[in-house]
Chains A and B, each alone.
Chain A
């Protein structure tokens, strides 16, 4: 229960270890954002038969760093009609939750340093995965206030869209997370990961994506994509309609902070998907350097999902706003509620599970038919 680091009280060494973990996590996240932006540009260029960044450093790997430095030296403007305090506050409100979510992700197993055993994870709170939901609902403020404080029409429209979208998809996200929590019986991310260790019949991994059926994973992945405003759900920054979206009026460092937050979110959310549904650091570990293998497995899985995000961005067109809301409210939320009931039934007894499944299916079909009939009637009338 909890990190073994705190089992024997808190002494200066414990304090130091925690501080080191925080700093390492921050640096790792920053560096991976730099690499992620480069990775995304390279992969997209490849998919579009272009070369992509290739000037700064080997294979253009330093391109992001160059862009960042350029942004830092630009002039930071603030429009006259803007709200000064909130305008300056908003970018930080976007970045801080993005970093904090990263702290609950179990990156590896346990290590012992200076006689203290600790988990490779910044924090392992009792409430674990709920922290993700809390932080992603706090992240809404950054976007919302950025749009409002700009004192301009297009950013406001962008931020209103963003808020509606994020609040809508949080429900589906929470419900599909609940399925994983239900099967684990604990909210702690460490427990969720540990319950996925081992395998069925010796070769099928015991991961939640298989144990829960693929549905919660699919819902969670879609909801998370909408939550971090990645394509195809990037209506928040639809260039054609909104000039640039909520960050139209931002420039210089503050603009960079929004992009930092977006990419941090992409990385942390891939890591969360891996944690919840793909066993986190779980994987076969040979007997050499045992502590390193879980980290490598975790990194590998996360990179796969990062690639999927880029792939989606390169191949899918943006949704229309009403389609986005329909998908969230009329499809994902009912489906995830239904699947949550099925999982709960299955946990009591397989027969209960199938009963709930059949009943839910019948009810859903009846509801669909009823809606269709009523729609046909209103069209005739």
Chain B
């Protein structure tokens, strides 16, 4: 197949529709982001995160990156936040007292400093000519050919090495999870590493009853050889 020709789309051709979609989804994103940190209940925070992710997906669609939008919903909203919620529900941390104290000393001031640094970097970049709205390295998303085709072409040619390295990284993560979650066999030393992975279920919470089920099914996903990436 011949390479997809690069078509120069007019830069910054903003229509009223574009602007409206952007404004609405930006409002959704920002509201969701504020909600994540403002909500008192971790489950509400996770839901607000889903809202932000959906807003970002709409922005992707607006940029003709349909594939990215769907992958965003499938992977982030559909898998990662579901896992967050799963952990929150199973460990029963949906109580306020768990969140009252900082898990790490000095976490909040540090977060403020890093946040301010990130924001100033963003403002700086927005002020300089770097953000021009020019076409991306892989060609405009709205041109001929489907998203998937373009994405696949650049992933498997230009960016082959980073792509493969990422998949190796994921395999390492899977192997690491298997190693960490493996129970030592009976002859080995009497399970010191187990306490490290399993936080003690607190007896007064009803959710604690579900904890054994989770431990039982944990090895199942990682038990497939070669199932990574």
Contact = CB atoms under 8 A, between A and B. Distances in A.
B58 interface: no
Interface string B28-59: 00000000000001011001001000000000
Interface residues of A, number: 39
A83 B46 CA distance: 14
Contacts of A168: 221
A90 to B, nearest CB: 10
Contact of B79 (A137, A321, A367): A137
Given A148-B89, A325-B220, A160 B210 contact: yes
B73 A134 contact: yes
A141 B223 CA distance: 26
B82 A334 contact: no
A134 B43 contact: no
A85 B209 CA distance: 25
B167 interface: no
Q: Place the interface of chain B in its size category.
A: 35 or more
Interface residues of chain A: helix, strand, loop or mixed (majority): helix
Given A86-B47, A126-B66, A156-B89, A134 B74 contact: yes
A295 interface: no
A134 B73 CA distance: 6
B47 A133 contact: no
B199 interface: no
Interface string A134-176: 1001101100110010000100110110011001101000000
A205 interface: no
A145 B46 CA distance: 11
Contacts of A85: 44
Contact of B213 (A130, A153, A160, A167): A160
B147 interface: yes
Most buried by B among A164, A170, A186: A164
B43 A163 contact: no
A125 B89 CA distance: 35
Contact of A138 (B66, B73, B216, B227): B73
Interface of B: 41, 43-44, 47, 50, 66-67, 69-71, 73-74, 77-79, 82, 85-86, 89-90, 94, 146-148, 206-207, 209-210, 213-214, 216-217, 220-221, 223-225, 227
Given A148-B89, A156-B89, A168-B221, 5 more contacts: A127-B148, A160-B90, A187-B148, A333-B224, A333-B227
